[in-house]
Amino acid sequence: MAALRDCLKLAAPDALEELKWGKPALVKDGILFVFAAAKAHISLHPTPRVITQFKTALREFQTTENTIRFSLNAPLPTDLVMKIAEVRVYEKEVKGIGWR
């Protein structure tokens, strides 16, 4: 979980940490990411648009429309997480694309 948070903070160093729906989130003029820990995985919630953009790269991970689940039994794919985070930050800060 700490590695996931570190990646997200690198992509959005000025974002504030808040709780959204009882989960940690990074916020900067709106939600950038929500992330959480569960019994068997950690999850990242960027936006459905971002998940769609990375559909091929995410094929080995369990995903839903707005969630990516990373197993606790494998190393976090930090390079992929950084790319996802950078795209989400670009979407929000440059294109003005909100959470939904």
Q: What is the pLDDT along the chain (100 residues), one digit of tens a residue?
A: 899 999 999 999 999 999 999 999 999 999 999 999 999 999 999 999 999 999 999 999 999 999 999 999 999 999 999 999 999 999 999 998 887 6
Report the predicted TM-score, pTM, of the whole model to 2 decimal places.
0.93
Q: In what order do the strands lie in the sheet with 68-71?
A: 16-20, 23-27, 31-37, 41-45, 68-71, 62-63
Beta bridge partners of 31: 27
Domains and CATH numbers, the chain: 2-86 (3.90.1150.200)
Helices (H), the chain: 2-11, 48-53, 78-93
